[in-house]
Structure 1
Amino acid sequence: MLTRYVMVFLAISLIAATCHRVEASEKQMPADLDAPLPEGWPEPTPPGEIAVKDYPAYRSAVAKSGMKMDRADGVLFWQLFAHIQANEIAMTAPVVNTYSSNDDSQQVEMEFLYRSIKQGNAGNGLGQVKVEDHPQQTFLTLGVVGKMNADIYQESLQKLEAWLEKNPDWKQSGDPRRLGYHGPMTPQAKRLWEVQIPVAAVKQD
């Protein structure tokens, strides 16, 4: 019963790896995570810190919507929650939202991550949900603590883009995403998020 409550609390709020520390500032420390990380995932980026991080291959349940960020969260959550309940998949943290452009008015994709790539099977899930395998990838990531909305997401994205302008050894290689680690039972001021841009190293001549 406790596990089920944790699953609901974590997801509604959204309504091994190498970490290279590159920038940091003092921020309020977030609460402990509401659920375990998937196998091999790095620890969350501390609030205010920008880091380049490697993520392992993973499996997740995926749902998509053409709604804006704040509206899409609730719709996608219920689809994914029904899927993991029906398949007895335990909740993990974070819940991942990927946006098809830097403007969140485009397609939103939400993921509930499986604990292991050996858990379940890729393919069709419940209803509109798909279970997909994702390759190993590198992300430029900013830790954020407290409130999260479309404006804060865009501000965070701008900080990452500014970092890329100052660090030409890296370039963007895909769509940005937002990771959420806490649900509404955690005080808003202590909720931890990450905003990320997939990156690739620029080959030197």
Structure 2
Amino acid sequence: MEPFLKPYNYYFLKKQAAILAQTHRTVNAKSTIQAVQAQIFDKVKATLSELSEEEMTLVMGITEINDEQRILDRYLQRMKERVIPFKRPSDTGIKKAFPKTKKLTIPDWERLDLADYSFYAWNDPGQQSKFILYTVNNKLQGIQGQLSTEIKKGICTICHGESSVALFTVKGKANKDGHYKTKGNYICYNSDECNQKMQTFEHFMDFVTIVKEK
């Protein structure tokens, strides 16, 4: 079977599987366990409704999870093997995604497991910037913005998880008076952690729409 899960699908399943395992470990009432199971099974089916019957059968192996760590680990390993990794871009593609940036640090792709990433981003402290790469319809896109050095606890616009966030601002087009409009969002300072908290790609695309709105 070919890979069919996006990285954010995997992290969604990982979270649901962890909830189920923890319920088995901490709850004695069988009726409560069954209720949690039913909620999780319905949520998985609704979230991944576009899967084929064969793919859904594999995903619903989550029903096997109990209080044993080895069962949880085995399920997550099977799911990880079905993840479609973030497509490694060429150096030329990256430079085209950030055409206005003269000094661009190219990520060391060899050290990364791209199955962990729904998007890829890195911080450049020297430029006080964050560079974000993502694909839409197999086309590589890029967003560059200023990243504040002030980090605080908050909710990330991209993953909607509680995290250490920093203000990310993007300069828009100049108005008639020659002033530039800036758009700011609080996002995870550490984008690796942000990817691991993503449960859907919808919030990321909402963020892109806001940032790129003219």
**TM-score, normalising length: structure 2:** 0.22
Larger radius of gyration: 2
Higher helix fraction: Structure 1 or Structure 2?
2
TM-score, normalised by the number of residues in structure 1: 0.22
| Greater strand content | 1
Which structure has the higher relative contact order (CA within 8 Å, separation 6+)?
1
